[in-house]
Structure 1
Amino acid sequence: MQPLAEQGWRLWHPFDPTRAEAAVEDLDLVGPRTVVWLNEAQHYLGDRAGERIAAAVHHLLTSPQRGPVLVLGTLWPDYFRQYTALPAPGGPDPHSRVRELLAGCTVSVPDSFDSRALAAATALAEGGDRLLADSLTRARADGRLTQDLAGGPALLKRYHAGSPAAKALLEVAMDARRLGVGLHLPQAFLTDAAPDYLHDTDWMQLTDDWAEKAYAELAEQVHGNQAPLSRVTPRPQRRPPGPSTPADAPSPQPSGPVFRLADYLEQYGRTTRRHLCPPASFWHAAHTHLAHPDDLYNLTSEALDRHRLQWAHHLQLRAAHCGNTDALCALARMREKAGDREGAETLYRQAADRGNADALYALAQMREKAGDREGAETLARQADDHGFPSAMSRLVGMQENAMSHLVGMREKAGDRVGAETLARQAADRGNTDALYALAQMRENAGDREGAETLYRQAADQGNTSAVCRLVEMREEAGDREDAETLARQAADHGNTNALLRLARTREWAGDREGAETLARQAANHGNTNALYALAFMREWAGDREGAETLFRQAADHGNTDALYGLARMREWAGDREDAEALFRQAADHGNFNALVRLARIRVSPGTREDGDETLAQHAADHGNTDAPARLTWMHEWALTEALLQRKVRDGEGDVALARRAAEGDTSALVRLAQIRERAGDREDAGALYRQAADHGHTDALYRLAQIRERAGDWEGAEALYRQAADHGHTDALYDLAQIRERVGDWEGAEALYRQAADHGDAQALLGMAMALKRLWPYGLDPDGTPTPEWQ
C-alpha cells in the first residue's frame, strides 16, 4: 500500500465501536483513492451484518464514480471454506452475498516461504533485523517464518505443557470462539466454565487461588510478544445508543475483566476441537455470565446444531431478554405456530421496537390477515422507514418488502384504488418498488396504458428498473426516440442495461448501425458487455468480420471474455497460432473456457506436444480446492477434455496425467471421478477416488464407499464410511449409522448418531435431524446422554 500513499491514497480500517458496525455505517462514505482494510475479515463478513457488508463492498467496487478503490482483507482457511460452501438443496444460504464477493478475488497464502524469500529474509537478518535472525535459527528448514514470528510454536508448547487449570481455560476460550462468542471473553465466564474441562484428579488438587495462578501463567508472553490468553481493555462505545432495550436487560458490556485468545491458538482450536461438544459447565457459564445478545444467539444456534435442545431453549430465552431481535422473532414464530397470536404479537412488537424490520413485516401480515388494514398499512410504513426495501429483502433471504406485499394483496383482492393509494404513499416515502410492483400487475392484467403511467411515475422518482421496462414498452410501441431518451436517462443514473437491451432489440430488428451506436454508448458508460453481446449477435447473423471487429473493440475496452470470442473466431478461420496466443491471454485472465480450447488444440490427434500435460496442470492449478464451485467445475471441464481425448489417443495414459495434473489439488481428481462415475465407468471412478483419498480428500473416501455400497460390497463400504467418519464426514456417519441399523446393531447406530450430533452438522442433513428427533425427542445433555422430558 505504500506506493499508493505516495499517489494520494488514504487508508481506512473500520473498527469503532465494532468492526462490523463501523463498516455498515460508513462504507457508503468511501470515496475514490481509498484502501479499505478489512483485517481478519471474518469479523466483518461473518457477523450478523455480513451479508449487508458484502453487498455494500460489492456496490463500492462496481460503482465507477466511486473508484478507484482497493479493498483488502484476510481470512483463515476455515472461514473461507465456510463462507464459500454451497448450501444444501432446500437448506439455508446464510453467506450468498459473501460467497459472490469472494469468488475469484482470493489469493492463497502458502504455509511456508520458498528459497528465494528465505534468501531475502536472510539478507534482512544480516542487515540488522534481529527478530528475523532469531526466527531463522528455528524456521529456516521448513520456511514457516510467519508462524514463528507470530509465536505459533511457542504458543502451542505453552498450551500442551501448561498446568491443567491453564489448559482448561484455553480450551474454554477455544470453544467459545469457535461457537460464535465475540473476541472479548469475560473472566467470570472463563472461570465458571473451566471445571468440567478438568479431570476429577486435577479438580481435586486445585487450590483456592487456582484461577489467579492460571491467568498469571497464561499472561506470560512468548516469542513474538504474544500471550496465550491476554487481558484486554475494549474501546468504549462512542456511538449514539441504539433502539430501546428492556430496563432489566443486562448490559452487553462485561462488568469485569475480559480476555482475548491468541489468534494462532484460536485457529488451532477450530481445527483440533471442531467435532467436540463443550461440557455442561460451558453452557451453564454462558447462560449465567454472557450478556451480549449476538453471543447468546450464536450459542443458541450451535446448541441446536448439536441437538442440545434444552440448553438451546434457555439460551434463546436469555438472548431475547438481552435484546437479540432474531431470538425474539424466533420465539414469536413459535407462539404464532402454536396459535398464541397475542403472545406472538407481543414478541414481534418487542423486536420491532428494537429496530427489527422483519418483525414489523410479520406484524403487518398478521394485522392484514386479521382484517385490520389500517394497522397493517401503519406497520408497513414503519417497515419502510426502518430500511426494509426489496434489495435488502433479497439480500437477507426475506420476502418482498412489506408495503409492496400489501399493495399486491389489495390488487389481488380487487381493491385497485386501495392498492394504488398504498403504492403512491410508498413512493412518496421513497419506496418506488411498490409503484413498480403495481405497474407489473396492471400490465399482467392487460392495462398497458395504466401500467406505463405507473412505470413512468416510478421512473421519474429514480427507479431504474421501471426505466428499463419503459424503454421496452416505448420500443414495442414504435416510439424509438423516446425509448432512446429513456435508455440514456437510465445510463446516466448508472444502469446501462436499458441501453444494452435496446441495442439487442435494434440488432434483431436489422438496424445494425443503430444497435452499434447504442452499444457504444453503453460501453462509454463502462458496460463492455454491450460490445461483447453485440459481437455475438453479429456472429449469429453470419457476419464474422463484423463480429471479430466488435470482439476486438470489447477486448480493447478491457473485456477479457472478448479475448476468448476473438480467439475462437481465429481458430475457426484456421489461424491456429493467433488463436492459441489469444486463448492463452484469456486463460491468464481467468477464463477457464480458454483452457478447454487450449486443451483441445494441444491434445488433438496429430498435434501431440510436451505442453499438453503442462496445460492440464495449469487448469488444475486454477482450481484450488478453496475456489468457488463455478471455477472448480470449469477447471474440471478443461482437465476432462484433455484427459478424455488423451485416453482415446493413448489408452490408459490419462491416469498418470491426472495424478500429475491434480498434485496438490485433490478436488480435480474428485471432479474427474464424478464425471467417470456418471458415465458408468465405476472402475475408473473408483481408481480416481482412491487417488484423491490417498492425498487426504475425505469426501473421496465417502464417494468411494457409496460406489462399494451400490455394488453390494457392504463390508467394504462400511470400512470406507468408517474411515471418512473418523475424519469428521457427517454424511458418512449417517450412512454408517443406517448400515448399523439395517444389521440390527442399534447400540452402534445410536453411538454414531450421537457422534454426528457432537460434530454440530447434524441439522444440515434432513435424515440425520429426523433420526436424532426420533431417538432423543427431548435432546441430549452436553455429555451425550439423553435429556429427560422437560417443559
Structure 2
Amino acid sequence: MDEQNGHSPQLTKLRGRLADGLARARLNQTQLARRAGLGRTTVSEAFSSQKPVPSAETVVALSRALKLPEEEMLALQRTAAQQVGAGRTEGPGRPIGEWGPHDLEVHRAGPGPTAAGSDMFAERAWPAYVRRKHDRVLDRAVADTMAGRSQIMVLVGASSTGKTRACWEAVQPLADQGWRLWHPFDPTRAQAALEQLHRVGPRTVVWLNEAQHYLGDRAVGEQIAAAVHRLLVSRERGPVLVLGTLWPEYATQYTALPVPSEPDLHSRARELLAGHFLAVPDAFDGPALATAWALAEDGDWLLADALTRAHADGRITQDLAGAPELLNRYQHAGPAAKAVLQSAMDARRLGVGLHLPQAFLTDAATDYLSQNDYDQLTDGWAEQAYAELAKPVHGKQAPLRQTSRRPVRRPPVPDSAAIKGAEAERGPQFRLADYLEQHGRTSRRRLCPPASFWHAALTHLAHPDDLNRVADEAEKRLRLQWAHHLRHKAAAHGSPVALALLAVLREEAGDPDGAEVLARLASCHGDTDVLRRLAMMRDEAGDRDGVEALLHQAASLGHTDALLRLVEMRDEAGDRDGAEALLQQAVDLGDTDVLRRLAMMRDEAGDRDGAEALLHQVV
C-alpha cells in the first residue's frame, strides 16, 4: 500500500517490521502507545500507509517497546526518509546544496575579479582544492557519519590555513545524500546556537566556524558545549556532524587544566573537544606543492599566481586569502598611507632590498601626494600612515610591516661593502607585502618615481647594492644627475661596482691618475678585473708603459688573465725568458692551463725534454 501511495520500498519494509513486532507482542496500538510513551495518534500514523515516514524518535521508542533491533530500524527510517524526501525535519538549517562557500565564511581567494567587487565574477574566483593529510581524516569522519554514527571534528590552525575550506569540501558527499547544514549566527552566534541546538534533527551538519564565538562566550559557552554533547550522544537525533574551526591559542585555552583554587571556566568544552582536534599545518608540504604546481600548469590561474609568491615557504592558502584584502586596503588607503605604499612599491621594483628604511619611505612619500593632500598633512601623519598599514588582513599579512635584518654571521674579513652598508642602515625598517610588491611591478611599471624618491634614495639608502641598482634605474629614466650622485655614494661606501665604473669614466675623461686610484680601490674591494679593463683602454690609446704598469698591478692581485696578457706582450717584444718567467708565475698561482703554453714555448726553443715534462704535469 505504501508503494502504491508513492512511498519507498524501505518505508514499506519499516512498517512491515513494526506490524510483525506488534503481532508477536500481542498488543493493540493503544497498548503499544502506553508502553512506548507515545501518543495514540503518533503510533497510528507510524503504522498508516497514508502518512509520511515516522520520525527517528518515534521509531526508536516503538523498537524498544516491541524489542526490535534499534539500529536496523533506524537505518530503515533514514533510508526511507531520504528516498521519499521526508527526512527533512523542521529543525534549523537548509540543504547543503543551497549554501555557497562564502556564505559559510570560506575566504574569497586570490586577486582579480574578486577584488574588483563584482558578485557575478566573485564565485568564479575559486582555486582548485589541494587535498592534504588532514582531509583524509575528515573523510573518515564523514564516512562514519553517513554510516549512522554522529561525529564532531574541530580543525585547529592559524589564520587562513584552509580550515574552513577543508570543512566545506568534506561535506559535499553529504550534500549528495540530501543532508542539511545549519550555521548559527543570528542574532549572535552564541545566542542562535543556544536557542536552536535542541531542535537540530538527524542528517544535519552543525557549522561552528570560529568556534571561539560559541564555546568561548562568557555567558553561555559552557551551556552550548553541553548542548552539543547532548546532541552527539542522542541516537534519536542522529546522525549529525559537528564541524568547527579554532586558532591554536583558543584550542589551548579551552583544553588547559584549571589552576587549583580557581574556577574551571571550560570544563564542558574541554570534555567535548577531547580527542576531536585535527591539526591543519601552516604550509603545504612537498606532495601538496607538487599537486598545486600540476593544477597551475593545467590552467588554474589563482594557484599559479599564488605560487609565484609563496612557493618558497608553502604558505599558499594565506596568500590566496590575503590578496583580495591587501589590494582593497591599498586601493582605499588614506592619501598618506597610499603615498608610503607607492614609494615602497617603486623602491622594490627599482631594486631596493626587502628591508626598506622608514626614513627613506617617509621622505620619498611626499611627492606622491597631490598638493591638496600635502597641504592637509598634520604633524603625526607618518605615524598614522604606518599604523594604518600595519593592521593585518587574512593570513596575518599586513600591507607594510616592520621587520628586522638578521645579524651578519661571517668569519673575520676586511670590511666589505655589504657589511658597511648594513651597518649604516640604522632605524626602523619595513617590508612590503609580497602581493602588493607584485601588483606594483605590473601596475606601475611605466611610471617614473618623483623627485622625492631619488632624493630620499640619495639621503637615506646606504647599502651599496641598493644604491647601484637605483642608479642604474635612474640612468634608464634619464635622471642622470641623480644617477651620478648615487654612484658616488655607492663608491664612498666601498662598492667595487661603483668604483670600477667611476674609474672607467675618469679614464675616458682623460684623468688616468684618478682612474688608477679608483681602480686600485675597486680591486681592494674585490674587483680585480677593472685594472685589466683600464689596461685595455690604455692599450687602445697607445700607452704601452701604462698598460704594463696596470697589468702588473692586476697580476700582483692574482688576476691570471692580466698575467697572460703580459706574457703575450713580452713574447711579442722578443723577451722569451721574461715571458717564460711570467708563465711560471701563473703556474705558481695555480693556473695549470698555462702549462700547455709554457710547454709550447719550451718546444719552440728546442727544449723537448722540458716541454715533455710540462705536458706530463698537465696529464
TM-score if structure 1 supplies the norm length? 0.38
Larger radius of gyration: 2
| Bigger relative CO (Cα 8 Å, ≥ 6 apart) | 2
Give TM-score scaled by structure 2 length.
0.48
